[in-house]
């Protein structure tokens, strides 16, 4: 009887130990809920003590940029923004997966490197809550390439295996939260630059987009970038 009780106690102890380890592990992996207020503080004011520039300087109030070189961030999912910030960061001697022209570090790398994971989650969450102002957002302007851009967006380029942009970024360019970004209202020149970076693989954070852009000519890219900007 004593031997049976002893085995039961040992078994109970092992189960309890496993449970406690499970609780401890769970506590280790729990991520705090993003704080929009802290995100807004970082977006609006930056953190000079850590060399973090205020996001508003380049991306405008509420993520509505007025500078074509700097994309609109409003109405973009926080998951997508967070991924891009992580991809801009360089780890040790490893270059960032999202680099600039000819593989040179993007200006964003110097800004993203000091950010902690908490910073990234907070500022991304704040940005994700902002609405794009379509009245002031960029739009299409090249009438001559409109038809070509529309065709690529809606149907792709079958003879070169380029899929329809609308398949991932949605017919109205709103994108799919956490997976594919909104392109409607984005600056055409910015979209064009990014497609070319995907093509050269200097922006190497989406193998799928590299494969697609690699099959597109400069004229294809310019036409669809302009068309996408005008979607609503």
Domain boundaries in the chain?
A: 36-128, 143-229
Residue 8: which pLDDT band, with cuts at 50, 70 and 90?
A: very low
pTM value is 0.86
According to the model, what pLDDT value does residue 35 have?
98
Residue 176: which pLDDT band, with cuts at 50, 70 and 90?
A: very high
Q: What is the 3-state secondary structure (H, E, C) of the chain?
A: CHHHHHHHHHHHHHHHHHHHHHHHHHHHHCCCCCCHHHHHHHHHHCEHHHCECCCHHHHCHHHCCCCCCCCCCCCCCHHHHHHHHHHHCCECCECCCECCHHHCCCHHHHHHCCCCHHHHHHHHHHHHCCCCCCCCCCCCCCHHHHHHHHHHHHHCEHHHCECCCHHHHCCCCCCECCCECCCCCCCHHHHHHHHHHHHHCCECCCHHHHHHHCCCCHHHHHHHHHHHHCCC
Q: Which fold has domain 36-128?
A: Cytochrome Bc1 Complex; Chain D, domain 2 (1.10.760)
How do residues 67-106 score in pLDDT, each as one tens digit? Answer: 999 999 999 999 999 999 999 999 888 899 999 999 999 9
Please check whether the two domains, 36-128 and 143-229, share a CATH topology.
yes
CATH code reported for the domain at 143-229: 1.10.760.10
């Amino acid at each position: 009887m004593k031997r049976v009780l002893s085995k039961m106690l040992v078994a109970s102890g092992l189960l309890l130990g496993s449970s406690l380890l499970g609780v401890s592990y769970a506590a280790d992996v729990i991520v705090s809920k993003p704080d929009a207020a802290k995100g807004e503080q970082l977006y609006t004011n930056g953190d000079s003590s850590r060399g973090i520039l205020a996001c508003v300087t380049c991306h405008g109030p509420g993520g509505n940029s007025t500078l074509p070189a700097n994309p609109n961030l409003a109405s973009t999912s926080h998951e997508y923004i967070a991924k891009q910030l992580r991809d801009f960061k360089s780890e040790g001697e490893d270059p960032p997966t999202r680099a600039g022209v000819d593989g040179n570090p993007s200006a964003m790398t110097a800004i993203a490197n000091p950010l902690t994971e908490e910073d990234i989650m907070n500022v991304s969450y704040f940005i994700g809550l902002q609405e794009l102002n379509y009245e002031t957002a960029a739009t299409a302007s090249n009438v001559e390439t409109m038809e070509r851009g529309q065709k690529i967006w809606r149907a792709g380029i079958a003879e070169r295996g380029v899929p329809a942009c609308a398949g991932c970024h949605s017919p109205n360019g709103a994108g799919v939260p956490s997976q594919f970004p909104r392109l409607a209202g984005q600056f055409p020149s910015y979209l064009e630059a990014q497609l070319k970076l995907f093509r050269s693989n200097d922006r190497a954070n989406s193998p799928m987009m590299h494969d697609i852009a690699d099959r597109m000519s400069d004229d294809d890219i310019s036409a669809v970038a302009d068309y996408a900007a005008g979607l609503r």
